[in-house]
Structure 1
Amino acid sequence: MIPWTLGFRDEGHEREAAVKPSGDDAVRSKGFILWFTGLSGAGKSTLSVEVSRRLMPRHSVDILDGDEIRNFLSRGLGFTRPDREENIRRIGFVARRLARHGIAVLSAAISPYRDSRDEVRRLAAEEGIPFLEVYMQASLEVLIRRDVKGLYKKALAGEIPHFTGISDPYEPPESPEILILSDSESVEMSVARVLAVLEERGLTSPAR
């Protein structure tokens, strides 16, 4: 069984393998954006990697991981609300550029503010790009238990400022296309549910 703790470990090698395009075998179909949102440790990175692995035989796929974006594209931004919104704006811009060229884009970032996510959705819709919000929901108790680095405990102790869900707000989606209860669902079940929605909407073909 795959654990829900990928985001708390150093999995750069696995992510790199997961995001490589499928090459000539990829289905040349319309690109789309899967926007995974939720608190730290909810399983965004884990699920995006596993979904990408299932999509690769059928699509060119890329993952926009929030931590990696922070280290490169958004280096220098802090964690104030304006900086967080700018970070999401940049991720959304890259996601649209990739999806425009037929790539299945999986964005895994906390993206705490509803307005920011809705802006990405609106701009994607203006270009005819399907946008599906995937809300990764888990209780604080479970998130703390998964947190091998102890970030939540430090935030609760006041040692980490601007920590989303503790000292900074998180605005959950009001009507996400997909709701994942990662504190009660297995990774495998969640992957199957995401793929089923994509197939229902004609965004991917059933696995052979």
Structure 2
Amino acid sequence: MDAPRAARLAARPPGPPPVSSLLHRTAARGVVVVPSRSACQFQRWWPGGCTFPSPGRCSRLAAAHRNQSPVANLGLPPPRPRLPRSQAAGTGTRVTGDGGFDRRPLVECTGDRSIQEHAGVVEEKASKMSSTVPKSSNIFWHDCAVGKADRQKLLKQKGCVVWITGLSGSGKSTLACTLGRELHTRGKLAYVLDGDNLRHGLNKDLGFKAEDRAENIRRVGEVAKLFADAGLVCIASLISPYRRDREACRALLSDGSFVEVFLNMSLELCEARDSKGLYKLARAGKIKGFTGIDDPYEAPLNCEIEIKEVDGVCPPLCDMAGQVVTYLEEKGFLHE
């Protein structure tokens, strides 16, 4: 080290540098420029090396300068509270130079809030969103030049909703897929909305309480209506245990394009066909609110198609699908 530099270092007074090293005036406007909290946390020099100052130290330095400079409006946040040593364990705190504990987390996020606190606020806001966000108002329906009739003419079929309902294990999904394949081979455009599949995406935020089941059916009904409006044969297969929810979906299609198919299979048959073991879990009390066990199923009163078991077994799939296709043909859904 050269002699002049060594002399300058030896002449440096002990302690931190003057306040002006943190806060300075700009020559152009004569106002005080305050470094951000992250800048204040960068480093300061002590005899023998450097360390990181606490936010409280930055705030005290800023306050001292503010008292001397009436043009300054610093606006730094107040120092964070300190925890006694007995309360600091397990809180993600760190020991500061003055023997206290800094409450700051090791990782910080926007708004000077810890990630855990921020996540908690977001979760709380999300849980209250449905009750605090008002319904849409001042909105109007916008009609397009191409309507349902135009799409049906292009597809050479009429849009409708085939709503398959019944107990778990009654064969709803199997019938839906078989029916979709049969319509496809006939050159008709169809799409299956399966209840379990939809809970992987559209309805993955819903459980199986009564209100969740109602919302599940409402959403599927609205989506099915859009498919029917597009000119497709929409095949929805859901337990949909409550009659009022199914009737609400029917009311969405006032032109008679809602076809309710009731798979009227006994509980004993459905339990015997239960390949997923759900009934066994429900009987053991491991699944609560299971339809047919501890939650009711309300059978349709005026369904378009009812398919019953024959001699304690389900009818052949081709017969069940054929029954639905015949109905759709007779009602004119499979041609213009």
1:169-196 Cα shifts (integer Å, max 9, x gaps): 1111011100012434211111111111
Residue 29 (structure 1) shift: 2.0
2: CA distance, partners of 1:120 / 1:151: 27
Paired residue for 1:52, among 173, 180, 203?
180
Cα distance in 2 for partners of 1:157, 1:181 equals: 28
Tell me the TM-score normalized by structure 2: 0.51
| CA distance in structure 1 between the partners assigned to 2:205 and 2:249 by the alignment | 22
Q: Which residue of 1 is the match for residue 266 of structure 2?
A: 139
- Please list the CA deviations of residues 102-152 of structure 1 after superposition, one character each: whole Å capped at 9, or x if unmatched: 011000011111000000001111xx3600000011111111111122211
- The residue identity in structure 2 corresponding to 1:86 is E
2:225 maps to 1:96: yes
Unaligned segments of structure 2, at least 5 residues: 1-153
Which letter maps to 2:199? R
Question: 2:169 is paired with a residue of what secondary structure?
Answer: coil
CA distance in 2, matches of 1:184, 1:115: 27
Q: Work out whether residues 33 and 131 of structure 1, in 8 Å CA contact, stay in contact via their aligned partners in 2.
A: yes
**RMSD (Å), alpha carbons:** 1.4
Is 1:151 aligned to 2:278, yes or no?
yes
The one-letter code matched in structure 1 to 2:268 is E
Residue 319 (structure 2) aligns with: 189
For the Cα contact (< 8 Å) 2:161–2:257, is it kept in 1? yes
Q: Report what 2:328 is aligned to.
A: 198
Secondary structure (helix, strand or coil) at the match of 2:240 reads: coil
The 8 Å contact of residues 30 and 203 in structure 1, kept in 2 or not, is answered as: yes
Query: In the aligned structure 1, how far is the partner of 2:326 from the partner of 2:158?
Result: 17
SS at the partner of 1:107? strand
Bigger relative contact order, structure 1 or 2, given CA contacts below 8 A and separation 6+?
A: 1
Residue 41 in structure 1 maps to residue 191 in structure 2: no
2:158·2:332 contact (CA, 8 Å) conserved in 1? no
Q: How many residues are matched?
A: 178
Task: Decide whether the 8 Å contact of 1:133 with 1:176 is kept in 2.
Answer: yes
Instruction: For 2:286, give the aligned amino acid.
Output: E
Residues in 1 aligned to 2:245 and 2:256: alpha-carbon distance in whole angstroms: 17
Query: CA contact under 8 A between 1:41 and 1:143: conserved in structure 2?
Result: yes
2:207 corresponds in structure 1 to: 78
Measure, in 2, the Cα distance between the counterparts of 1:129 and 1:179: 17
Query: Does the aligned pair in 1 maintain the 2:156–2:334 contact within 8 Å?
Result: no
Within 1, Cα distance between the matches of 2:211 and 2:275? 29
* 2: CA distance, partners of 1:117 / 1:148: 26
**2:188 and 2:320 mapped to 1: Cα distance?**
19
CA shift, 1:53, in A, is 0.8
Measured in 2, the distance between the counterparts of 1:164 and 1:196 equals: 30
Q: Percent identity?
A: 44
- Whole-angstrom CA distance in 2 between matches of 1:111 and 1:39: 9
Q: Distance in 2 between matches of 1:200 and 1:161?
A: 42
Q: Compare CA radii of gyration and give the structure with the larger one.
A: 2
Structure 2 letter corresponding to 1:172:
A
